[in-house]
Structures are given as C-alpha cells and as structure tokens.
C-alpha cells in the first residue's frame, strides 16, 4: 500500500474519532484540518480534507452540509460503530483496541 493511501485511511479514522469527541458529534472542515495538522502532523489543504469527508459521506460514516467555504461533518451511527470497533469501513484505518 502506498504512503498516500495509508495517510488517507489514517486521516479518515482521525476525522471520525475527532467527531466522536465533540459534544454534538460535528465539526467544520477548517477545524478538522487544524486538528489533523496540529495533533497528528498530517498537513493537507482544506480541499484534501473535503475529499476525505466526501469519502466518509459515501461510506455513510458522516453527513455533510456546506456552510460557505467550509463543510460541516456530522458523525452517523455507522461512523461511530467504526470508531467503537463494532463494524469496519473499507478505506478507513481499523481502530486500535481500547487501552485498559
């Protein structure tokens, strides 16, 4: 697997986990871009983040609403099921087992 594909799959998992951490399970793409860069050292453009959000939407893991130049992603039950290891989504890194 190429490094680009590994980064995409990792980023999609990070996006889902970040959304799961939010009280209302939603966040805009600008904040997701900053989180990817600052916490995970994945520095990509907002357009690239939009592509990852779009892939997650195609999988049914998030819903997306446009708001000007940003997108607002909201976690779905299917996305939460992936984060909590109840199901696995293709193209999204498998979550590690929870620490005990």
Q: What is the pLDDT of residues 22-50, one digit of tens each?
A: 999 999 999 999 999 999 999 999 999 99
pLDDT of residue 97: 81
pLDDT of residue 11: 97
Backbone φ and ψ for 75, nearest 5 degrees, come out as -65, 135
Three-class DSSP category at 93: coil
Mean pLDDT along residues 55-59: 97
pTM recorded for the entire structure: 0.94
Task: Return d(Cα 34, Cα 22) in angstroms, integer.
Answer: 15
Domains of the chain: 3-83 (1.10.10.10)
Q: Which residue has the tokens 């399970």?
A: 25
Q: What is the pLDDT of residues 60-77, one digit of tens each?
A: 999 999 988 999 999 999
pLDDT of residue 100: 66
Report the share of the chain in percent with pLDDT over 70.
99
pLDDT of residue 55: 97
């Amino acid at each position: 697997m190429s490094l680009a594909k590994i980064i995409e799959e990792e980023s999609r998992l990070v996006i889902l986990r970040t959304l799961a951490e939010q009280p209302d399970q939603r966040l805009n793409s600008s904040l997701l871009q900053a989180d990817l860069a600052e916490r995970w050292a994945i520095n990509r453009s907002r357009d690239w983040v939009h592509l990852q959000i779009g892939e997650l939407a195609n999988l049914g893991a998030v819903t997306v609403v446009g708001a000007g130049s940003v997108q607002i992603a909201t976690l779905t039950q299917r996305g939460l099921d992936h984060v909590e290891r109840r199901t696995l989504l293709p193209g999204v890194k498998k979550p590690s087992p929870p620490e005990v």
